[in-house]
Amino acid sequence: MRPRQPSRSKPIAEVVSMASSGRIRAFPLLLLIILIAIGGGVFMLFRDRTAPVTELSPLTVYVSKNMQLTAHAEDAKSGIRSMAVQVTAGDKTWDIASAQFPDKPASANLAFSLKDLPLKDGDIVIDVFAVDGSYAKFGGGNMAHLSRTHTLDTQPPRIAITSGVINITRGGAGAVSYSVDEEPAMTGVRAGDYFFPAYKQANGNWSALFAFPYTMDVQDYQPVLMATDAAGNEAAVNLSVNARPREFRDDTINLPQSFLDRKMPEFAQAFPDKKNNLDIFLAVNSIMRKNNRQALLEMGQHSRPTPLWHGAFLRMPGATMAQFADHRSYIYNGEKVDEQTHLGFDLASTQRADVPAANDGVVAYTGNMGIYGNCVVIDHGMGLMTLYAHMSEIAVSTGDEVTKGQSLGKTGSTGMAGGDHLHFGVLVSGLPVMPVEWWDAHWIQDNLSEKIPDVMGTTANGS
């Protein structure tokens, strides 16, 4: 049996030395962790030092108590944490609106108005504050401050009508002249859903042509003359009108298969989902018709401010094939498949007859316009325009000045025309009205020259 070997333990000094060595090796790692933590904190504090972008709309000098104002803030990097709005008048300041955004969206809006504040007309200051969602400023975030001075205006414009009682017939037109005691931001006549802009004249007064929409009845028709100032205050005056009724004709249009087969391929590309010519026709007659009329309505809102026409309008010689506001029922194989309203006069003469300009003006449009085919639109000023449709040839260009009787081109059968003819339309601010009034020198004298003589002078007499 071997003698037991005595255990060999390390000297205490060696053990202490090893422990110290381990702590020394761990210290740089701990220091690195601390430095990373500090660096991360510093990075979070200083990584976004840019304040949000702020806006206040609308961008107007004048504001009213009822005007809807909107403060807007954006910060794509850190998002928006909060917004606030203050209003100051003299030595008084009101906190008028504030909001917190826990989700920190990239952009935020804060809507407000001044209606609940005891403000008097005069200068006010609106301050917008926005704080982003960053950790800048030890977690407080970056703040943007926008300050704007506005003029509070609570008084609506004052309107004084200078023309007398207006006689107007359903589907027809009228005119009014008036003064406004301050420069309006918008003014004109409103009738139902339609707006007829007024135009400032050389004498400082305002004048507007307006219509009695063919879609309205006498009991529902009350045109309103309105003016809105830069602050959004609106004045409105009911016009004194003698509104007269008028009935329109009913008409039946038969749709032979030959017409559909001949015409609808021209429109097939616009409605690729339609499988047969009848379906294409129905889409053209409703959807395209609506779009074309909307284009004319928008065109009619932009016109020369003064009358360009002289005297009664010319009527192209020829037989009347259809009249204004005829209510058309479309019959296919003995059944009614659609109904629409015809908004002009169809005039038929010889094939490719000359199309004369009805009066002086400037060409506002030339080209193909859906159901109207090749057409010309002339601007005669003050929102008054004439439409010449289904032409085979156009001899003028957009922007040309034309004179009464000048040839615009030739009649044709383009668009939805079944045969060679001219579709002639008269529009007031884009809304179709009865052409027969404008062919009548006495009507022009009674309803324009005598109602708004300061505007018309001798331009609208019957000569």
Angle at CA of residue 298, ends 297 and 299, nearest 5° = 90
Distance in angstroms (rounded) separating the CA atoms of residues 295 and 300: 9
Question: How far is it, in rounded angstroms, from Cα 181 to Cα 199?
Answer: 15
| Residue 405, Ramachandran bin (φ over 0: left; ψ between -120 and 50: alpha; else beta) | left
Closest CA to 429 of 324, 297, 284: 297
Q: Are 45 and 135 in contact (CB under 8 A)?
A: yes
Task: Name the one residue in this structure whose structure tokens are 């944490």.
Answer: 81
What gap in Å lies between CA 132 and CA 82, rounded to an integer?
7
In the chain, the amino acid numbered 304 is: R
Distance CA 28, CA 24 (A): 8
Q: What is the pLDDT of residue 47?
A: 53
Report which secondary-structure segment, H or E, holds 423.
strand 422-428
Q: How far apart are CA 168 and CA 151, in angstroms?
A: 41
Q: Are strands 194-197 and 186-191 parallel, antiparallel or unpaired?
A: antiparallel
**Token pair listed for 91:** 């030595």
Residue ranges, CATH 2.60.40.10, the chain = 159-244
53-152 CATH pick, 3.40.640.10, 2.60.410.10, 2.60.40.2550, 3.20.20.140: 2.60.40.2550
Q: What is the pLDDT of residue 44?
A: 47
| Count of C-beta atoms within a 10 Å radius of residue 55 | 14
Distance in angstroms (rounded) separating the CA atoms of residues 196 and 300: 9
User: What does the block give as tokens for 232?
Assistant: 């959004």
Pull the structure tokens for residue 454.
Answer: 């300061």
- Per the CB < 8 A criterion, the answer to whether 197 and 208 are in contact is yes
- DSSP-derived letter for residue 58 is S
Distance (Å, whole) CA 402 – CA 383: 17
β-bridge mates for residue 388, sequence order: 376, 424
DSSP string, 212-263: --TT--GGG---EEEEE-TT--EEEEE--EEEE-----EEEEE--HHHHHHH
Q: Hey, what are 218's tokens?
A: 């006498």
Which strand (E) or helix (H) includes residue 265? Answer: none
What distance in Å separates the CA atoms of residue 245 and residue 82, rounded to the nearest whole number?
59
Q: Which residue has the tokens 């609570």?
A: 154
Per-residue pLDDT, 140: 83
Residue 114 has a pLDDT of 96
Contact (CB, 8 A) for 163 and 146: no
Give the count of beta carbons closer than 10 Å to the beta carbon of residue 427: 26
Which residues of the chain are in CATH 2.60.40.2550 domains? 53-152
CATH superfamily of 250-429: Glucose Permease (Domain IIA) (2.70.70.10)
Strands (E) across 319-360 are located at: 319-322, 326-332, 335-342, 345-348, 354-356
Mean pLDDT, consecutive 10-residue segments, the chain of 463 residues? 51 51 57 54 56 94 94 95 97 96 96 95 97 83 96 96 93 97 97 96 94 97 97 95 97 97 96 96 98 98 95 97 98 98 97 98 98 99 98 98 98 97 99 98 92 65 44
Which residue, among 440, 387, 430, has the nearest Cα to 209 in the 3D structure? 430
Total residue length of the chain: 463
What tokens appear for 58 in the block? 């609308």
Q: What's the rounded Cα separation, in Å, for the pair 293 and 243?
A: 25
Q: What is the pLDDT of residue 424?
A: 99
**What pLDDT is recorded for position 383?**
98
In 3-state terms, what secondary structure has residue 96?
Answer: strand
Q: Is 111 helix (H, G, I), strand (E, B) or coil?
A: strand
Domain boundaries 159-244, corresponding CATH code? 2.60.40.10
Q: Rounded distance, CA 350 to CA 75, Å?
A: 68
Task: Count CB atoms within 10 A of the CB of residue 191.
Answer: 22
Strand partners, 85: 97, 128
Write the single-letter amino acid at 121.
D
SS3 325: coil
Distance CA 373, CA 346 (A): 14
